[in-house]
Amino acid sequence: MMNKADSDLIRRQNRHLVLESLRFAGRAPRTELGRLTGLSLATITSITTQLLNEGLLVEDANAAQPAPRRGRPTVDLALNPQAAHVVAVKISIDRFELVLADYTGTRMTHSVKTVATHDMQASDVGRKGAQLILEFLHAQNKTAADVRIIGIAVQGAVETGAGHLVWSPAFKAGNIPLTDPISALTGIACSLSNDANMIAEGLMAREHYQYKGTAAVAFMGYGVGMGLVIDGKTYHGSTGAAAEFGHMNHIPHGALCRCGRAGCIEAYASDYGILRSAENLPVTTLPPTYAVEPEVMAALEKAARNGDKAALDAYKLAGEAIGFGLARMIALLNPDRIVISGPGIRAFDLVEPAIKSAIEEGVVLALRQNVKIEILPMDHDMIISGTIDKLLHGLDREVFSRADHAG
């Protein structure tokens, strides 16, 4: 006989199936939920009745359609936008970006704060983050009680379990505690992730059927990062610091990187690395502590397209660094696809030939021939989108799959 623990586990799994199906579908009648989840109509009816009573779902009266034959019209069910709110925070060089989203993932409001990050003390970063979050919520007539969880995405190496930012180009300090002080000062649960991993989370949430295998998401822009998807799940490593693609060595004792080492991929392929190469500065030139202005990079791209040799050579060096790094990753992981994103893809036509040549030179045909390389335009911020998606999927799985989720 099935014991209570087994019964509770099955109930949680079934509730999670229904919530996740509606998250992907947007809205659906009960019969369609049965098809999507594989559950019986009786089970679907029982679960959706509970979720409606708990305020997690709503009936969409406007979507009522006549039944295919005789009987009552079918009514679509959807996630209740007001069931929960989450806050996504993206931290980059001199910038805190905050977004409030509802339970459907719809962005309700957005704010960007300029903060001189580089010289902040490690103990001040969490306090500043908490202050900005509380001020942000107050401006929206929200309180900490209105928010279920905060998700922080930051450029650099993170320890997700400890909630520490180990290293980031945004800060001179290292080993910065983030989740504990922010949670303590706001009273809201908090999680920490690498920003490139959040692009991967966003892709899986929106196009999960395409990312069931192994894939890599490379980020090009103010830095160079990567998110890895292995067997349909984002891979974080033992501490959360996995896939630091930009800080793999490309040329031993080469150009100086923001991380303090020499020869990293980022030192050649980030905006500051490309600019340094184009200006023929020594490879020992210190990287700037600020983000290169988009207008500066746009002018450099224009110069390259107009035939400026120094600019063209700089983009070629960047493409080679990316390409040889991807070749190593292909040889190790044999991914199905590689997605390249970030503001740096505005110049993808300038780096693409060198990327392809480096991959061809760096890995045998048998390993690379079936890998699809795609470009993801940054028409919206996938880092923020992925952070919101990760928070909401976590609530579905860990909190709202239980009937006793109040609090």
Model confidence over 51-106: pLDDT tens digits?
Answer: 999 999 999 866 555 555 555 567 899 999 999 999 999 999 999 999 999 999 99
**Which of 31, 58, 79 is where one domain is finished?**
79
3-state secondary structure of 341: strand
pLDDT tens-place string over residues 312-325? 999 999 999 999 99
CA 386 from chain center: how many Å?
4
**Which of 23, 47, 79 is where one domain is finished?**
79
* DSSP for 40-106, written as a single string: -HHHHHHHHHHHHHTTSEEEEEEEEE--SSSSSPEEEEEE-GGG-EEEEEEEETTEEEEEEEETT--
Q: Which among 219, 216, 212, 242 has a CA at the least distance from the CA of 228? A: 216
* Same domain, yes or no: 173 and 286: no
pLDDT for 357? 97
High-pLDDT (> 70) share of the chain, %: 92
Q: Quick check: 347 pLDDT over 90?
A: yes
**Which of 43, 62, 79 is where one domain is finished?**
79
Half-sphere exposure (Cβ direction) of 221: Cα atoms closer than 13 Å: 25
pLDDT for 166? 92
Q: Quick check: 136 pLDDT over 60?
A: yes
* Same domain, yes or no: 255 and 371: yes
Q: Quick check: 1 pLDDT over 50?
A: no
* Same domain, yes or no: 215 and 342: yes
Q: What CATH number did the domain enclosing 47 receive?
A: 1.10.10.10
Q: Which residues contact 182 (CB under 8 A, 6 or more apart)?
A: 126, 129, 130, 133, 150, 152, 188, 190
Q: What CATH number did the domain enclosing 168 receive?
A: 3.30.420.40
407 occurs within a structural domain? no
Per DSSP, 288 falls in state P
Render the burial of 152-167: b for 16+ CB within 10 Å, e for the rest: bbbbbbbbbebbbbbb
pLDDT for 406? 57
Residue 84, number of CB atoms within 10 A of its CB: 24
Number of domains in the chain: 3
138 occurs within a structural domain? yes
Give how far Cα 107 sits from Cα of 16, 88, 101, Å: 23, 10, 4
Q: Which of 64-78, 167-181, 211-225, 235-249 is the least confident region? A: 64-78
| More confident position, 298 or 241 | 298
Question: 371 is written with which tokens?
Answer: 């890998």
Q: Average pLDDT in the 279-301 region?
A: 94
Cα–Cα distance, 211 to 259 (Å, whole number): 31
For the chain, the residue count is 407
What strand order describes the sheet that includes 176-177? Answer: 157-159, 164-167, 176-177
pLDDT for 268? 98
High-pLDDT (> 90) share of the chain, %: 72
CB of 192 within 8 A of CB of 183? Answer: no
* Same domain, yes or no: 63 and 9: yes
* Same domain, yes or no: 349 and 244: yes
141 occurs within a structural domain? yes
* Same domain, yes or no: 54 and 132: no
Q: Which among 165, 176, 26 has a CA at the least distance from the CA of 103? A: 26
Cα–Cα distance, 380 to 364 (Å, whole number): 35
Q: Which among 67, 111, 95 has a CA at the least distance from the CA of 195? A: 95
Provide the residue range defining the domain that includes 113.
Answer: 83-199+383-399
406 occurs within a structural domain? no
* Same domain, yes or no: 48 and 108: no
Q: Average pLDDT in the 343-356 region?
A: 95
Which pTM value belongs to this model?
0.87
Q: If you search the block for the tokens 């679509």, which residue do you land on? A: 76
10 occurs within a structural domain? yes
Cα–Cα distance, 173 to 98 (Å, whole number): 22
* DSSP for 248-286, written as a single string: SBSSTT-SBPTTS-BSBSHHHHSHHHHHHHHTT--TTSP
* Same domain, yes or no: 60 and 98: no
* Same domain, yes or no: 43 and 171: no
Question: 187 is written with which tokens?
Answer: 């009273």
* Same domain, yes or no: 134 and 281: no
Q: Average pLDDT in the 252-258 region?
A: 95
pLDDT for 67? 52
* Same domain, yes or no: 338 and 250: yes
pLDDT for 371? 94
Q: Quick check: 188 pLDDT over 60?
A: yes
* Same domain, yes or no: 191 and 145: yes
Question: 19 is written with which tokens?
Answer: 């919530």
Average pLDDT, the chain: 90
Query: What letter represents residue 213's amino acid?
Result: G
405 occurs within a structural domain? no
Q: Quick check: 158 pLDDT over 50?
A: yes
